[in-house]
Amino acid sequence: MQRNLSYNYNINNRERLGEINVKQLEQDRLIEILEFLKVYSNEPYRNPANETNKIEKAKLENLKSKGQNALSLFKDMCTYLEDENYKKKVSSKWLDGSNRYVRNYLWAEIKHKDKKHLPSSISVVAENKYEQVKFMIYVEIRDEGSSEEDYVRHNKFLDEIDFDKEDMEYFGVTKDGMLFNELSKFEIKKYIQTSMNRENERIRVGKSFTYDVVRDNGDKYIFTAMKDTMNILKKYYEIAVQEGDRIDMDTTKNNNGPKNVILYGPPGTGKTYNVCNKALEIIDYDKYKDIINAPNKRDEVVKEFNRIKEDGLIGFCTFHQSYSYEDFVEGLRSDGSGGFTPKDGIFKQLCKNASIKSQKEIISYNPLENKTKNYVLIIDEINRGNISKIFGELITLIEEDKRIGDKNELKVTLPYSNESFGVPNNLYIIGTMNTADRSIALLDTALRRRFDFIEYMPNEELLSKDVEGINVSKLLKTINDRIEFLLDRDHKIGHAYFIKENLSFEDLVLIIKNKVIPLLQEYFYDDFEKIDMILGGSGKNGDNDYLLNKSIIKASSLFKSNQGAMYPDQVKYSVVERPSKKAFIRIYEEIKYETLDSNINLSNEE
């Protein structure tokens, strides 16, 4: 058989193949894993024990058998990649979180036994995505629960990559939305080397093995390639998990990072609070580093933010469809005597303040005080405005190398005042964006090119695991897993809705009724069948062991004689006024959860 080496991996010493001893797997069975994902990904499933139709029952039992077989082979494959120091940490199941559909991926983390507490790992994945079925092995950092310090520590390994010698693949998305696998190696190298700030930068480095490669080359060859890739990735992983680098972290912070940043994510994920943290970090990191991102200092962060805002170092505005260039930069306003005079908008005024005050501050004779103050403009809901209309010609001026004092300094003449205008180097712009309103992919291209993007997703680990017997963390994770499956990840429910001091069951009822369910109605356009699926089902009228009640409305009960005969019965949903605790537990019960260090199995389905 002709060997397919399209994945561009070379093994010089082919005799090494004979050294491999794979006890867990028979010859050439890895393809069965990919074959299962290729055929059955996203296939509906239900417990065959509850199926009365013999044909359907046989089909479901066959699907279950194939799923369990694929998972078993995948686990054995990961076991082969282990050694005395590196152990697999988490394995996914073949069913999704609802136990109703087959996953389109299998996934495991391999970590050093002494570094299990860190979010970095060498991940092994089998997936069916973007019309391609393949295995992947790469160094990555887990999004969920990772701090900015975790990202900075993890991404140090990027500086050690020898692009000329090591033939690795790069997976992920750049800050301006480009896929790494669409870029040349030169472009990737340039992007990594010129990235000023590695916070929330998620670049996976490793290898992929496509369905055709696995089929044409056989297990022993693929195992050798994976093992060799694993050995290369270990040196990167070991850099990514080096601890004790707080000084480097402080140095990174003091560089203040990119001048233009957008914090984006679903509602309730802490974007607004993190704007406060970022603003304090930019204004004076040395002064505020003890309270930035400290969970027990939230009130102090907000207090300092408001004080600095009153001092004029922070400007705040919200974009909307009616917001214009005249509001943001400058426009004409009536002078009260029949004429018009130019009036500065918030952006121009803050630029003026930053320029004038910086020049005054810089003449200090005390070198410790001879430091330019930073200014911050916060633009809330930046994606709701017409960017071209609001920024106008100034969209170019906010680029880092076009700022006043930089190598490509650029100024323009403003249309109303005829003033020469440029953007000072000490002005930082922070935007916020709700992805439930608009995907990052739909943003104005000019905006995407000039901003760095930092994603904020729900962090269920911040929530209580016991509120009067209800695991709120698991509750929200289940809801979000189902939303992601039925819709997308941009519409998940944020953890901030559930963060409250001394959260009670009564509080939880109000949050679900007044916050979560209305959001779900908006997301799914009042499609209560999908909301029913997300909230764990519905009961009959009066059954408070569910969050929703469902009833059948017959036309004959509403209209006289045969007037309603032509109309079909309708389903009516209603929100339960006083749900029981069981209604909440029902949402997540009997579902397997993949946590960092737990093997709790609440499901009978393997």
Q: Per residue in 547-583, pLDDT tens?
A: 999 999 988 888 877 777 788 889 999 999 999 999 9
In terms of domains, do 275 and 385 share one? yes
pLDDT digits (tens, 9 = 90+) for 363-416: 333 333 445 789 999 999 998 888 889 998 899 999 988 998 888 899 999 999
Reduced to 3 states (helix: H, G, I; strand: E, B; else coil), residue 90 is strand
In terms of domains, do 481 and 563 share one? yes
Domain ends where: 204, 228, 246?
246
Question: What would the two tokens of residue 151 be?
Answer: 């990202």
- Which phi and psi (to 5°) does residue 97 adopt? -60, -25
- Which phi and psi (to 5°) does residue 434 adopt? -95, 110
pLDDT digits (tens, 9 = 90+) for 110-122: 999 888 888 899 9
In terms of domains, do 430 and 548 share one? no
User: pTM score, two decimals?
Assistant: 0.56
Mean pLDDT, the chain, rounded, equals: 82
In terms of domains, do 220 and 235 share one? yes
In terms of domains, do 116 and 20 share one? yes
In terms of domains, do 239 and 285 share one? no
C-alpha dist (Å) from residue 71 to 20, 140, 491, 596, 605: 22, 22, 29, 19, 12
Length of the chain: 606
In terms of domains, do 169 and 209 share one? yes
Q: State the Cα–Cα distance between residues 342 and 330, nearest whole angstrom.
A: 7
In terms of domains, do 80 and 173 share one? yes
In terms of domains, do 539 and 474 share one? yes
Domain ends where: 455, 474, 490?
455
Residue 606 lies in a domain: no
Q: State the Cα–Cα distance between residues 78 and 66, nearest whole angstrom.
A: 18
Name which of 153, 146, 193, 191 is nearest 172 in CA terms. 191
| Residue type (1 letter), 385 | G
In terms of domains, do 442 and 471 share one? no
Residue 554 lies in a domain: yes
In terms of domains, do 279 and 191 share one? no
Residue 407 lies in a domain: yes
Res 440: pLDDT:
65
Q: State the Cα–Cα distance between residues 261 and 25, nearest whole angstrom.
A: 49
Question: What would the two tokens of residue 571 be?
Answer: 């389903």
Tally of domains within the chain: 3
Enter the DSSP assignment of 539. B
**CATH code for the domain in which residue 281 is found:** 3.40.50
In terms of domains, do 216 and 324 share one? no
Residue 599 lies in a domain: no
Reduced to 3 states (helix: H, G, I; strand: E, B; else coil), residue 462 is helix
Q: What is the dihedral of CA 36, 41, 47, 52, to 10 degrees?
A: -90
**CATH code for the domain in which residue 38 is found:** 3.30.930
Query: Which residues constitute the domain of residue 491?
Result: 460-588
Res 258: pLDDT:
84
Q: Comparing 181-185, 228-232, 251-255, 480-484, which segment has the lowest mean pLDDT? A: 251-255
Does residue 6 contact residue 217 with C-beta atoms inside 8 Å? no
pLDDT digits (tens, 9 = 90+) for 499-542: 988 899 999 999 999 999 999 999 999 999 999 999 999 999 99
